[in-house]
């Protein structure tokens, strides 16, 4: 496990949080239940990393980028490891229903998130960069299909639109863990 390696196994709290980081947003588990079972520290990290599923996906993604630099060091370690794991999955077994543009958008978004937390752990950052290049190479290979030039153009347009989109900072952010 990436977080255990990054901490040389010396931080069981962050390892537990890494294992549980999606439990609040992907299951019916409540924060108080998590806290009873795993403690305040684990729950705090998990809450920092939990997206507010009541928001539209594009807003959640923008918030994850914007809030990344405010994460605690432990939460940043988990975020880095999660992005590495997700890009490895995209490289090795991408979702069959994702068009090339969505894969490219995911890679670009992951890079924006990680750019905000650089300086957290050079080893994890190096691994992220390596797998990001591998994903990019895989996606370049997919561009040889006849429909991919249209998808590539649509992806560039979508990325340009996303880059110009900004989240309303005057809107209350709510729970600091609702990234």
Catalytic position from the list 25, 35, 52, 125: 25
For residues 23 and 34, the answer to whether their CB atoms sit within 8 Å is: yes
For residues 34 and 6, the answer to whether their CB atoms sit within 8 Å is: no
Q: How confident is the model at residue 176 (pLDDT cuts 50, 70, 90)?
A: very low
* pLDDT higher than 60, residue 106: yes
Q: What is the pLDDT, as a whole number, of residue 41?
A: 98
Q: What is the pLDDT, as a whole number, of residue 166?
A: 44
Q: What is the pLDDT, as a whole number, of residue 1?
A: 87
Q: What is the pLDDT of residues 117-170, one digit of tens each?
A: 999 999 999 999 999 999 999 999 998 765 544 555 565 565 555 554 544 443
**Per-domain residue ranges of the chain:** 2-164
Active site residue 26: yes
Q: What is the pLDDT, as a whole number, of residue 179?
A: 38
Mean pLDDT of the chain: 87
The predicted model scores a pTM of 0.80
Alpha-carbon distances, residue 38 vs 12, 15, 23, 114, 175 (angstroms): 11, 12, 12, 27, 20
CATH architecture of the domain with residue range 2-164: Orthogonal Bundle (1.10)
Catalytic position from the list 26, 37, 92, 130: 26
Active site residue 136: no
Q: What is the pLDDT of residues 71-104, one digit of tens each?
A: 999 999 999 999 999 999 999 999 999 999 999 9
Residues 6+ apart with CB under 8 A from 140: none
């Amino acid at each position: 496990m990436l977080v255990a390696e990054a901490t040389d196994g010396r931080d069981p709290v962050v390892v537990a949080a890494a294992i549980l980081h999606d439990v609040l947003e992907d299951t019916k588990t409540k924060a108080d239940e998590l806290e009873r079972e795993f403690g305040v520290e684990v729950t705090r990290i998990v809450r920092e990393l939990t997206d507010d599923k009541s928001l539209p996906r594009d807003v959640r993604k923008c918030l994850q980028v914007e809030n990344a630099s405010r994460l605690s060091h432990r939460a940043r370690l988990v975020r880095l490891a999660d992005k590495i794991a997700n890009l490895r999955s995209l490289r090795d077994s991408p979702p069959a229903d994702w068009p090339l543009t969505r894969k490219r958008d995911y890679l670009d978004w992951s890079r924006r998130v990680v750019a905000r937390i650089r300086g957290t752990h050079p080893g994890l950052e190096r691994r992220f960069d390596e797998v990001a290049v591998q994903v990019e190479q895989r996606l370049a290979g997919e561009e040889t299909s006849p429909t991919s030039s249209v998808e590539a153009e649509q992806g560039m347009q979508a990325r340009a639109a996303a880059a110009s989109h900004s989240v309303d900072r005057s809107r209350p952010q709510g729970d600091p863990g609702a990234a």
